[in-house]
Amino acid sequence: MFLRFTTWDVHEISRQPRGIFQSAYDLADAPEVPEWYRDALRSDLGWFEEHLPIPPRRRFADGLGISWFRSEAQPSIARLWSIIAIVREQGIAVRQIRSPHPGRVLYSDSLQIVAVPWRDSSR
């Protein structure tokens, strides 16, 4: 099983909901967000930058590939909940999506995959 945490905004290239990290980075740089929240986001995002492999950019297929956590990546997913709480506190709705087959896999490691969604999303 694969997990993805998204907002309701749609990414202009993939036409898929934007991932939680995109919103978190935006908020971490937003001057209107209280400094305490920005510091907490930067700290948590820094943890992910250290512990979550960054897939090669070419694996994102010019913006069509999207990232999914493997359900076994529990330490990373547990850490993500503090980011989700801050994003929600700033008024951005976050949802969790589960899929056994999120698309054609372009990249894979022990914590995540990058996949191009199937054209038929019911798959």
Number of domains in the chain: 1
Domain annotation covers residue 76: yes
39-48: per-residue pLDDT in tens? 999 999 999 9
Q: How confident is the model at residue 58 (pLDDT cuts 50, 70, 90)?
A: low
85 has pLDDT over 70: yes
Under DSSP, the state recorded for 117 is P
Domain annotation covers residue 122: no
Q: Please report the sign of the dihedral spanned by the C-alpha atoms of residue 28, residue 21, residue 53, residue 69.
A: positive
pTM for the full predicted model: 0.82
6-55: per-residue pLDDT in tens? 988 776 666 678 889 989 999 999 999 999 999 999 999 999 999 999 88
97 pairs with which residues across the strands?
Answer: 4
Q: What is the pLDDT of residue 11?
A: 66
Range of the domain at 19: 2-116
